[in-house]
Structure 1
Amino acid sequence: MVEIYLFVNPLDERCLLSEQRFLKAIENEHTKVYLKLIPVLNPLIIHHYLIDNNYPTNDLVFRNHLIETVYSACLDVKAAQLQGKKMERKFLFHLQDLVGKKKMAYSEELVDMILTKINADKETFKLDRQSKLIKDFFKTDQQIANEMGINRFAKAVIFNYDCTRNFGVLIDAFSSTDLIKQLLKVEHTQTSCAKLLEY
């Protein structure tokens, strides 16, 4: 069995591309692969995001708006998740496509449009979205990200329980499909597993 934790920005096109790459890499795997998409947000990640995208790092108004917007989108994703993993992924992919790729402004109206398009239960979503449970889920995600040393969007941690390696491997989510597939392989010797860390 393999567990993949993929830490993403719910409003970013590059993260959408990384998610699609992982889904393609695991679609023909014979071993069980659990892909967990985790919307993540903290000040260090935002700082790196600003630098990576050539945004001003000293514009506090822009930075605060970005943090508020990504935070709101993270809660939206967690609320959609309560209607099932498939619904969560549909919602996340549409949100990233419309905001990240097509440059539509994130808004409640846009979220409502996506919910309609994916046939989500909008009333349940609205109730869930305002609940303390959603914020608690978000906090748990951030604790996981912190424990795994995530400091940028689109990072992945892969735990391969069919390998003698007894720890997760942190990689850039834009790593090659070949590397991802290699990390998913069933390995039976410590030597063959250790080699993967050289990438």
Structure 2
Amino acid sequence: MVEIYLFVNPLDELCLLSEKRFLEAIEKENNKVYLKLIPVLNPLIIQHYLIDNNYPTNDLTHRNQLVETIYSACLDVKAAQLQGNKMGRKFLFHLQDLVGKKKMAYSEELVDTILTKINADKETFKLDRQSKLIKDFFKIDQQVANEMGVNRFAKAVIFNYDSTRNFGVLIDAFSSSDLIKQLLKSEDTHSCRAKILKY
């Protein structure tokens, strides 16, 4: 069995591409592979995101607006995930496509449109979205990201329980398909070049 934790920006097109790459790799596997899509947000990740995208790092208004928008989208994703992983994934993909790829403005109206499109239970979503439980789940996700050393969007940690490794491997989600395939194989792969996390 393989577990993949993929840490993403819920409003980013590149993260959407990385998610699709992992899903394609998983479809070709005979082993059971569980993919967990985790929206993340913390000051270090935002700092790297601003630098990586050539945004000014000293514009506090822009930074605060960005943090607020991504935080809201993260909570939306968590609320959608409560209706099942498949529903959560559909919601995330549509959100990233419309905001990240098609450059539509993130808003409650856009979220409502996506919920309609994917046939989600809107009333349940609204109740869940306002609950303390969603914020608690979000905090747990951030703790997991911190423990795994995630400091940028689109990072993945792969635990392959069918190999002789007893630790997870942290890689960039845009790593080569060959590296991803290698880490999903049953046999041990000490030759791969990736940061290793031991638990």
TM-score range, shorter chain: over 0.9
Question: In the alignment, is residue 20 of structure 1 matched against residue 16 of structure 2?
Answer: no
Letter in 2 for 1:36: K
Identify the residue that residue 195 of structure 1 maps to in structure 2: 191
- 171-180 or 128-137: bigger deviation: 171-180
Letter in 1 for 2:46: I
Letter in 2 for 1:151: N
Contact 2:182 2:189 in 1 (8 A): no
Identify the residue that residue 34 of structure 2 maps to in structure 1: 34
CA displacement at 1:10 relative to structure 2 = 0.0
Letter in 1 for 2:73: A
CA distance in 2, matches of 1:163, 1:8: 26
CA displacement at 1:113 relative to structure 2 = 0.2
Contact 1:169 1:197 in 2 (8 A): no
1:168 is paired with a residue whose SS is: strand
Contact 2:40 2:141 in 1 (8 A): yes
1:4-30 Cα shifts (integer Å, max 9, x gaps):
000000000000000000000110211
CA displacement at 1:178 relative to structure 2 = 1.4
Question: Structure 1 114/63 Cα, relative in aligned 2: closer, same or farther at 3 Å?
Answer: same
Identify the residue that residue 103 of structure 1 maps to in structure 2: 103
1:7-65 Cα shifts (integer Å, max 9, x gaps):
00000000000000000011021110000000000000000000000000000000000
What's the Cα RMSD here?
A: 0.9
1:126-177 Cα shifts (integer Å, max 9, x gaps):
0000000000000000000000000000000000000101100100000111
CA distance in 1, matches of 2:179, 2:171: 9
Letter in 2 for 1:81: Q
Identify the residue that residue 178 of structure 2 maps to in structure 1: 178
What TM-score comes out, normalization by structure 1 length? 0.96
Structure 2: segments with no counterpart, 5+ residues: none
CA displacement at 1:193 relative to structure 2 = 2.2
Letter in 2 for 1:77: V
1:57-102 Cα shifts (integer Å, max 9, x gaps):
0000000000000000000000000100000000000000000000
CA displacement at 1:198 relative to structure 2 = 5.8
Letter in 2 for 1:146: N
Structure 1: segments with no counterpart, 5+ residues: none
Contact 1:40 1:141 in 2 (8 A): yes
Deviating above 4 A after TM superposition, structure 1's stretches of 4 or more consecutive aligned residues are none
Aligned residue pairs, count:
195
CA distance in 2, matches of 1:179, 1:198: 9
Letter in 2 for 1:62: H
Match runs of 1:1-199 below 5 Å: 1-187=1-187, 192-197=188-193
What TM-score comes out, normalization by structure 2 length? 0.96
